Chains A and B, each alone.
Chain A
Amino acid sequence: MLQMTQTESRPDVTPVLALDGITKTFPGVKALDGVSLRLYPGQVTALIGENGAGKSTVVKTLTGIYQPDGGDILVDGKATRFPTAQDAAVAGITAIHQETVLFDELSVAENIFLGHAPRTRFGLIDWAAMARRSTEILRGIGAEIDPTHKLRDLGIANKHLVAIARALSIDARVVIMDEPTAALSHKEIQELYELVEKLKAQGKAILFISHKFDEIFRIADRYTVFRDGQFIGDGKIADVSEADLVKMMVGRDVSQIFPSRSSNPGAEVLRVEGMNHPTEFADIGFSLNRGEILGFYGLVGAGRSEFMQALFGITKASSGRVTIDGTPAEIRSPADAVDAGIVYVPEDRGKQGAITPLPIFQNVTLPSLGRTSHKGFLRLAEEFQLAREYTERLDLRAASLDTAVGTLSGGNQQKVVIAKWLATQPKVIILDEPTKGIDIGSKAAVHEFMAELAAEGLAVIMVSSEIPEVLGMSDRVIVMREGRMVAELAGDNLTPETLVRHAAGI
């Protein structure tokens, strides 16, 4: 891996902010392994890496939310520490996140100056000064926003502008933009570019995190690549090609070990034709066979989860046909989907998965009550039997099936959620980011289990943003970009490079 490391002659300017050999370990994961990063005044540095490369950990380290276990943070060449987020803000570092952390019910001016509002001599908030300075700052970045408006009334692009105005109001020297264009329209992105140019002209150092190569080549002066928590290389954008960056991002070795499975898909179980949604996806069509694992890859916001939710009946598609085992299925609600044999294990298992006050057995049998009840009356003995069968199959260890799910550990709660779905005896199981946020050991267990399900003849759809997982588990991969299917890859065509190219639209 080290032979990939590139170092180039440094410019003579001292970086405003630099990380040197930063290490950060979480239980079971080394999130950052001696990474370096340099941000220069008046320059845009793009931070590039796959999901899990350590980008967000770096942002949190820079803004004082995480404390590094080792290495130095240098401001103007001097080693320093940010024990709290406030300390980072005082040092002039500000981050604009994907989801802006602002207050909907407050005015634009209040959002900009919250925490550091100008005061009158009596110590009260100087509303006139606040309004005046807000107008100045907003005008300075070319934003036509009335500072007295409530933030709620603004579109997402203008909210970003308010976040940027807030950054400027504290006289930030370093502005971190974490996927700022993810939710913006084409025109708004152009405006954002102009704004970045203005900030550059003012001498701010900008850290620009993005998955989109066209953006990076359009806006960045320099790049830094991370992979699996390690520094891979940095340099001037002018000196590299897209292909170089892709190669640095994905590397060559896949560090995780995936279960070996002999893929021999059976008969077709699911066919989707011409599924459309007015705003989220268009023209989705594919077929899925028994025993097959079909990966759905794409950038965050490519419309994969949105499509899955429509397939499962949570949202309504405007048109399209779903056929299961050769019979057309009318899916208008999740109940219809479960009846038809499709189940969906959502990404946000905390919010959408377990019902924590209810005992384990009631969680497991909830979607199967049709089978364990008679004319609306529950049969508790059958429920217990069903719950026991599937929790044992998943090797869930709990004192009693009567235990409330809320008292279980995260891993066991997840087993309850999966047991719940398997108990419905589905034909198709959709797993949305099945290993997001879990440690490597549990990941391997989930992968093992997924392979088992497929071997038993279940058709699996796996939505994943992690390239090793997509490559290691899928028989076939559909790549989505901006709500459309852009590629279907299998066999020799299925490589890290092809995935990234199609997903990023290179």
Chain B
Amino acid sequence: MLQRLITSREALLLGAIAVLLALIATRFPGFIVPSNLADVFNDTSPLILLAIGQMIVILTKCIDLSVAANLALTGMVVAMLNLAFPGLPVALIVVVAVTLGAVMGMFNGILVWKLDIPPIVVTLGTMTIFRGIIFLISDGKWVNSHEMSAAFKAFPRAEFLGLPMLSWTAILAVIVFTVVMSRTTLGRAAYAVGGNPHAATYTGIDVGRTQFWAFTISGALAGLTGYLWVSRYAVAYVDIAGGFELDVVAACVIGGISIAGGIGSVGGALLGALFLGVIKNALPVINISPFWQLAISGAAIIIAVAVNARASQTKGRIILKSAEHAT
């Protein structure tokens, strides 16, 4: 049991993050003071939220490339809603954002479930559609800070026990989805569907419906993040979070979530996102050019996949009785 804990992907990744932080500390000790680490966590929170949703989707053998576009569209809609009705309470705005995001996720899910279109094609399409809709409803115009109500902008920054609400949202999502994935029938179904869709079907699990709910969750989290993003940066425009979906997928891959489905955890997604977050925040302070940042992020992805591939290499058929459990 102990050995399994030590060799688990999560522990390995946690170790990698610790080593990374130690290396950064040798160049710039200020990076690892608690207040700065809290800033890094807050900065990484949107990535964590999206990575959790993406992880569930990938677990079911799918992929959601539309998350960043979903985030941007929801962000624009709530920003315009705030512009039109400045008095709308933030709680209602959050509900609208989550609902709108979930509906977009459901749209992806329906196409995958009922029309059997490959998820990568569906979400590549909806990604473009969502961005197009932002342009249509905004006419390409920005919603700027001065057009947003104070309450709208205040929520993600409001502090509770020393941490901003943005961070608390990410922490809450980690807790909720850890429970969902390990303690609910939906979570179990997601693992089963990704682990062996044929067997899951024979067990009475509806593969398409499980994938539909995975997309819905991913969409809802993207919608929620849309509001948080727009209110935190106090601006909404067509291209916000452009290309962010790739960071999200990268966080999942680094976090040990198998692209083939069936293997992964919320903890992995969290650590994968934090790993990327630390790199993104640390490299500028230790004076590494942004071009290197991209190369380093890319290298991290490939290394993570290589490590995971080695770890999960199939050892062939186990024929010898004595070899069972010895592996």
Contacts and interface: CB of A to CB of B under 8 A. Distances in A.
Given A335-B205, A353-B199, A357-B263, A373 B185 contact: yes
A339 B203 CA distance: 11
Of the listed residues A27, A314, A338, A378, the one surrounded by the most CB atoms of chain B closer than 10 A to its CB is A378
A336 B184 CA distance: 21
B195 interface: yes
Nearest to B187: A378
A446 interface: no
A367 B327 contact: no
Contacts of A367: 203-204
Of the listed residues B198, B202, B327, the one surrounded by the most CB atoms of chain A closer than 10 A to its CB is B202
B192 interface: yes
B200 A410 contact: no
A378 B185 contact: yes
A355 B319 CA distance: 19
B202 A334 contact: yes
Nearest to B258: A357
Contact of A378 (B183, B202, B318): B183
Contacts of B185: 369, 373, 376-378
B204 A358 contact: no
A356 to B, nearest CB: 7
B199 A408 contact: no
Contacts of A338: 203-204
Contacts of B205: 335, 366
Contacts of B321: 409
Nearest to A413: B318
A420 interface: yes
Interface string A397-429: 011000100111110100000001000000000
Contacts of B325: 398-399, 403, 407
Contact of A346 (B191, B192, B202): B202
Interface string B202-221: 11111000000000000000
A409 B196 contact: no
B324 interface: yes
Nearest to B179: A377
B201 interface: yes
Contacts of A335: 204-206
A26 B202 CA distance: 32
Contacts of A344: 202
Contact of A337 (B204, B206, B317): B204
A26 to B, nearest CB: 11
A356 B185 CA distance: 18
A411 to B, nearest CB: 9
B297 to A, nearest CB: 28
A122 B196 CA distance: 48
B188 interface: yes
Given A353-B199, A357-B195, A362-B188, A334 B318 contact: no
Interface in A356-408: 356-358, 362, 366-367, 369, 373, 376-378, 380, 398-399, 403, 406-408
Given A333-B204, A334-B203, A410 B191 contact: no
Contacts of A409: 318-319, 321, 324
A188 B324 CA distance: 49
Contacts of B317: 410
Interface string A48-79: 00000000000000000000000000000000
A324 B327 CA distance: 45
Contacts of B263: 357
Contacts of A312: 202
A404 to B, nearest CB: 10
A408 B318 contact: yes
A380 B182 CA distance: 10
Contacts of A356: 195-196
Interface string A124-162: 000000000000000000000000000000000000000
Of the listed residues B192, B203, B324, the one surrounded by the most CB atoms of chain A closer than 10 A to its CB is B203
Of the listed residues A334, A337, A410, the one surrounded by the most CB atoms of chain B closer than 10 A to its CB is A334
A187 interface: no
For the complex of A and B, the 5 pairs showing the least CB-CB separation, nearest first, are A335-B204, A355-B195, A355-B196, A334-B204, A357-B195
16 contacts: A335-B206, A346-B202, A351-B198, A352-B198, A357-B191, A358-B192, A367-B204, A369-B188, A377-B183, A377-B185, A378-B183, A378-B185, A380-B183, A403-B325, A409-B319, A410-B319
